[in-house]
Amino acid sequence: MNGSAYASLLELTSGLVLVCAVVTMWRRSLPAVVKALSLQGVALGAAALILGVHQHDVVLIAVACLVLAAKGLLIPTLLGRIVAGDPSSREATPVVNVPASLVISAALTFLAYGAAEPVVRLIPTTAGRLVPLGFATLLIGFFSMVVRRKAVSQIVGLLLVDNGIALVAFLATAGVPLLIELGASLDVLLAVGVLRVLASRIGSKFGAFDLDQLRELHD
């Protein structure tokens, strides 16, 4: 693929990762949030695939396929099952309302550009310029974990954080060594699995998925 097509495809997919993160802040219906997350996984995998093809890196292409399968398909399916088992699949009373969340997301994106400045300076390539998008996704995920009250929303926040980090890793270093990449992906998969099991156990004990129910332990 030629240089400009590579650059614009990479910009498109990386941009899509951030857009999906913003969409999860915008929508309150959980099925829609899970769809946005699934699209984000696909965009992330596609970004890795484009990098791999551009750099003729077979390992990176393999990792990209793995990411597509795990983050585009497997994890959203797991989440979809939790959502389906939950009668009220809406974020009922967000701590911060939707317009404010979107403004904060924009502010976080600016912050991300500031924070990622040393990285952009070190790698003055197309991929390097896009690294702040990963940081922005990470920060939005963090924010979402703090303000959202549904168990599923918290898992979504964690996955946003993780996807943001994965995007940074692909863009900045063309993926960390394979062994560690595999370990990291497997860990996320396991963590989501564990959270799903916990969500169902909590659901059967507490009768609801809201984290506001978790009030037993405090000082």
Partner 1 sequence: MLALAALVAPLAAGMLAAVVPWRRWVGWVCTATLGVVLACGIDLAVQVVHHSAVTAFGGVLRVDALSAFMVIVIGAVGFLAAWQSVRYLDAEISDGRCGRRQASLYGVLVQGFIAAMLLAVVAGNVGVMWVAVEATTIITTFLVGHRRTRGSLEASWKYIAICSVGIALAFLGTVLVYLAALHVGHHLPANLDWTSLMAASHHLDPGVMRLAMALLVLGYGTKVGLAPMHSWLPDAHSQAPAPVSALMSGVLLTVAFYALLRFKAVADGALGIGFTRDLLVVIGLLSLAVAASLMLSQHDYKRMLAYSSMEHMGLIALGAAAGTRLAIAAVLLHILGHGLVKGVLFLTSGEVLRTEGTSEIAQVKSLLVRRPALGGLFAVGLVALLGLPPFSLFVSELNMVRAETTVGLGWAAALSLLCMAVIFAAMMSHGRRLLLGASDGERVHRTPAMVTAPLVSALAACAVIGVLAWPLASLLRAAAQVVAI
216 contacts partner 1 (rule: CB under 8 A): yes
Q: What would the DSSP string read from start to end of 7-73?
A: HHHHHHHHHHHHHHHHHHHH--BHHHHHHHHHHHHHHHHHHHHHHHHHTT-HHHHHHHHHHIIIIII
* Distance between CA atoms of residues 33 and 76, nearest Å: 10
Any contact of residue 119 with partner 1 (CB under 8 A)?
yes
Is 96 a binding residue for partner 1 by CB under 8 A? The answer is: no
Say whether residue 219 binds partner 1 (CB under 8 A).
Answer: yes
CB of 84 to partner 1, least distance (A): 20
Amino acid type, 37 = L
- Cα–Cα distances in angstroms (integers) from residue 152 to residues 134, 157, 176, in the given order: 22, 9, 29
Segment lying near partner 1 (by CB under 8 A), choices 29-37, 60-68, 98-106, 195-203: 195-203
Least distance (Å) between residue 36 CB and partner 1: 19
Single out the residue of 12, 92, 98, 122 in contact with partner 1 (rule: CB under 8 A). Answer: 122
Q: Which stretch binds partner 1 (CB under 8 A): 37-45, 65-73, 93-101, 210-218?
A: 210-218
Residue 178 has which token pair? 């394979």
For 160-218, the DSSP string reads HHHHHHHHHHHHHHSSS-HHHHHHHHHHHHHHHHHHHHHHHHHHHHHSS-BGGG--SS-
Nearest Cα neighbor of 81 from 122, 143, 34 is 34
The yes or no reply on residue 106 touching partner 1 (CB under 8 A) is no
What's the closest the beta carbon of residue 26 comes to partner 1, in angstroms? 22
Q: Residues binding partner 1: what is the number (CB under 8 A)?
A: 42
Q: Contact, 57 vs 112, CB < 8 A?
A: no
114 contacts partner 1 (rule: CB under 8 A): no
Interaction residues for partner 1, span 140-179 (CB under 8 A): 142, 145, 151, 154, 158, 161-162, 165, 168-169, 172-173, 176-177, 179
Contact footprint for partner 1 (CB under 8 A) = 115-119, 121-123, 138, 142, 145, 151, 154, 158, 161-162, 165, 168-169, 172-173, 176-177, 179-180, 183-184, 187, 190-191, 194-195, 198, 201-202, 205-206, 211, 214, 216-217, 219
